[in-house]
Structure 1
Amino acid sequence: MSTAQLAAVSFLARYSGRTHRLYSFQLREWFAWCEGHGLDPLVGVQRAHIELHIRGLAERGLMDSSVVTMMHGVRGFFRFAHIDGLVPADPAVYARLPKVHRDESRTQGLDRLELIRFLQVSQTLTVHHGALALLLGINALRASEAAAVRIEDYAETLRGHRVLRLVGKGKKPATMPVTVPVLRALEACRGDRAEGPLILRPQSGNPIDRRDVYRMVTRIATTAGIPRHISPHSLRHAAITNALDAGVPLRDAQILARHADPRTTEHYDRARGNLDRHGVHFLTAYVAGV
């Protein structure tokens, strides 16, 4: 095994699931590019080589955001190779990437009335749809997180609050309160069961997966008469933006969303329905003498 291959195996061992598959693909692309240009994928690589690879990705027709994503695995590969002493310097750290502006979240969320309608309609379908809708639209869970909730995960009381314990993105543990309406829906979904996966497929009784979450959300949205595509992330988006509209401070909204970086929550803040407070209204009134 070459030094580059050893570094790749060591780097990829840090990850699992979708992230592992994504980074594996990105490193295969990098190794193939290096082979085509007569380069060792690790030793002797210069910043110029990294930037030529970036240019090659763009010339293949990838969008700027996709190019940046494709470089996540490559940059991590060199960063940890440098940390491990396999290369004297990290050639990717200053490599120029396309500028991608992410000031606003592009997800189509739901406003307050739409969220209320969605949650109400979900309760009329099945107890499983009702529990799922509240976990997504109130507790801001991701699709995979909601599908993974077990009955045992919300059995504990902490400081007077019934809490839900889960393992989120990046295997980060989280604890969040379960409000009374959500608890009622979870208990109705649980029925007489004492353990095991909480939300089941209504027809078969088998545990749901991410694809089932998407299908169930689509069914609720269609029944609720929401005339656009609604995904599980739309519900997470709605939970965050409606919390901000309700006056929840940005820091507390960040905790609700479980965002490591507050700038991620700020993207939701800028994208939400805050046009009523936009400065153009005040400026128009000012110059009009109102």
Structure 2
Amino acid sequence: MTALTLLFPAAPCPALIAAAGERAQFRFLEFFASAIRNPHTRRAYVRAVAEFLDWCTSVGVPSITDVQPLHVATWIEGQTRSLSAPTVKQQLAALRHLFDWLVTGQIVPVNPAASVRGPSHVVKTGKTPVLDAAEARHLLESIAADTPAGLRDRALIALMVYSFARVGAALGMRVEDVFTQQRRLWVRLHEKGGKRHEMPCHHRLEEILEAYLEGADLRRDPKGWLFRTLGRGTGCLSARPLAQANAHAMIRRRTAAAGIATRVGNHSFRATGITAYLTHGGTLEQAAAMANHASTRTTQLYDRRRGDLTLDEIEKIRI
């Protein structure tokens, strides 16, 4: 129990779990340690489960073995009044997966969340803000490439735009993940689920990455991180990887300096690149392959061409 508790040093085992005995406690902590590998999913599930168990305690449920579908349904209904449908559906998924784990571990007889329906939610277009092609080009051109920070920031943004890379995959790259093949520069992205995705670079991305590798003198450290933090007070790159939160802050600074009012984030450049590709004759199937999507339905969420068409039509209302 001690080794698993190290994963959750700030929070003791919830009272409802402790009331079911030591085997239930072990199985509960084992769920977060063994069944969930993605750290972002783990954080979200821990938060959702903790809120649900606190609510159960407040309404008098004595143990995890006494949780009924009515309890889950009542809590989910309350959550829909203050949270978005996707968030509530994620919370319900956390409960379903947890109770499935407890059922297979013979802690509870049935899954009380299995029969509970979540809120309906149909998505045809994503909500992530995107830039048009001119704005993206202006942003890249506005970043001075005369410092390690400028070279790094321009390279990271260009990588996400031209390769449709997720920020997590981009920040997880090593220097050796930029390599030459068939007389062209390629990038190797380590996507979710341990998938490795390789693709050739757009000629503009190739120029920017080459300038970054040479200007920051990274080629001599092939096993080192490609995108790194800046050393405190030195202005030079350190050996530590750039964190996702720092990348987000950098993007906000760079877009503000470029005079771009759209509140873009890390994920915006993936949608920007996909939309630009489809606008200029690319196919949805090829876009899905380039973005490493399992389904074109996911890729369609990044296609914002319909928004431009709608705006054109709206402007025809001349009053």
Q: Shorter-chain TM-score: which interval? A: 0.7 to 0.9
8 Å CA contact retained: 1:4, 1:41: no
Report the CA distance shift for 1:101/1:40 in structure 2 as closer, same or farther (over 3 A): farther
Task: State yes or no: 1:52 paired with 2:74.
Answer: yes
- Return the letter of the residue paired with 2:76: I
Which deviations, in whole Å up to 9, do the C-alpha atoms of 1:121-162 show, x marking residues without a partner? 2365622122112111111222333223221112363x6654
Task: State yes or no: 1:242 paired with 2:276.
Answer: yes
Matches within 5 A, 1:53-72: 53-58=75-80, 61-72=82-93
In 2, the alpha carbon distance for the partners of 1:35 and 1:97 equals 22
Contiguous gaps of at least 5 residues in structure 2: 1-20
Report the CA distance shift for 1:123/1:171 in structure 2 as closer, same or farther (over 3 A): farther
Aligned with 1:155: secondary structure?
strand
In 2, the alpha carbon distance for the partners of 1:92 and 1:215 equals 38
Which deviations, in whole Å up to 9, do the C-alpha atoms of 1:232-258 show, x marking residues without a partner? 211111012112212222122122223
Which deviations, in whole Å up to 9, do the C-alpha atoms of 1:18-53 show, x marking residues without a partner? 222221222222322333344366435432222022
8 Å CA contact retained: 2:76, 2:118: yes
Which deviations, in whole Å up to 9, do the C-alpha atoms of 1:55-98 show, x marking residues without a partner? 23345x33333322322311211233345555554332231212
Matches within 5 A, 1:132-151: 132-151=156-175
In 1, the alpha carbon distance for the partners of 2:97 and 2:177 equals 33
Report the CA distance shift for 1:251/1:93 in structure 2 as closer, same or farther (over 3 A): farther
Among 176, 190, 201, the residue aligned to 1:167: 190
Q: Partner residue of 2:250?
A: 216
In 2, the alpha carbon distance for the partners of 1:263 and 1:86 equals 38
Q: Partner residue of 2:26?
A: 6
Q: Partner residue of 2:7?
A: none
Report the CA distance shift for 1:261/1:51 in structure 2 as closer, same or farther (over 3 A): farther
Q: Partner residue of 1:176?
A: 199
In 2, the alpha carbon distance for the partners of 1:41 and 1:256 equals 48
Report the CA distance shift for 1:84/1:261 in structure 2 as closer, same or farther (over 3 A): farther
In 2, the alpha carbon distance for the partners of 1:90 and 1:116 equals 52
Deviation for aligned residue 1:102: 2.2
In 2, the alpha carbon distance for the partners of 1:41 and 1:262 equals 44
Contiguous gaps of at least 5 residues in structure 1: 285-290
8 Å CA contact retained: 1:128, 1:201: no
Task: State yes or no: 1:111 paired with 2:132.
Answer: yes
Task: State yes or no: 1:274 paired with 2:306.
Answer: yes
Report the CA distance shift for 1:218/1:42 in structure 2 as closer, same or farther (over 3 A): same
Report the CA distance shift for 1:131/1:4 in structure 2 as closer, same or farther (over 3 A): same
In 2, the alpha carbon distance for the partners of 1:198 and 1:142 equals 15
Q: Partner residue of 2:227?
A: 199
Among 21, 38, 42, the residue aligned to 1:20: 42
Q: TM-score, normalised by structure 1?
A: 0.81
In 2, the alpha carbon distance for the partners of 1:132 and 1:188 equals 12
Aligned with 1:274: secondary structure?
helix
Percent sequence identity is 27
Q: Partner residue of 1:287?
A: none
8 Å CA contact retained: 2:139, 2:255: yes
Superposed CA RMSD in Å reads 2.9
8 Å CA contact retained: 1:134, 1:182: yes
Task: State yes or no: 1:229 paired with 2:263.
Answer: yes
In 1, the alpha carbon distance for the partners of 2:201 and 2:63 equals 49
Report the CA distance shift for 1:154/1:24 in structure 2 as closer, same or farther (over 3 A): same
